[in-house]
Amino acid sequence: MKYIAPISILLALTLSSQVIGDNAKVLFLLVLTALVSILVAVRYLLSIQGNELLPQERQRLQEVEQLYQQLQRANQHLRELDELKDQFLMSASHELRTPLTAVQGYLELMAQLHDQLPHQKR
């Protein structure tokens, strides 16, 4: 339990972040790596000790495995959100560029016509 509480806090902080940026991804990967390391260590101890684990150790193993599964689901969710963000930015960029290109064309045309008008009509 001494490892699970700090990792749970890091996980909660990572998943509660409103902005999914590089820092959140790095933190998430660090937490995921820590949990995987703990899971590997616990499984190794389990293989050494056989089925002679205490009930507390079994409970810890179950908690670590549950947290690992939660992290896997959260990681998948982050990937989906990242993909949605990329799609939104591509769409928004296109939607903004199209009318701005038309406005730019009209402004260039007006500038050319303005130069051709006699000074009194400007």
Residue 80 has pLDDT above 90, yes or no: yes
Q: Which domain holds residue 84?
A: 4-121
Q: Give the C-alpha separation, 100 to 117, whole Å.
A: 26
The pLDDT of residue 18: 47
Nearest CA-CA partner of 64 in 8, 115, 121: 8
Q: Are 32 and 71 in contact (CB under 8 A)?
A: yes
Tens-digit pLDDT profile for residues 24-56: 677 777 777 777 778 777 777 777 666 566 777
Structurally, the chain folds into a number of domains equal to 1
Nearest CA-CA partner of 4 in 75, 53, 66, 72: 66
> What's the pTM value of the predicted model, to 2 decimals?
0.43
Q: Give the C-alpha separation, 83 to 90, whole Å.
A: 11
Tens-digit pLDDT profile for residues 84-101: 999 998 888 888 888 888
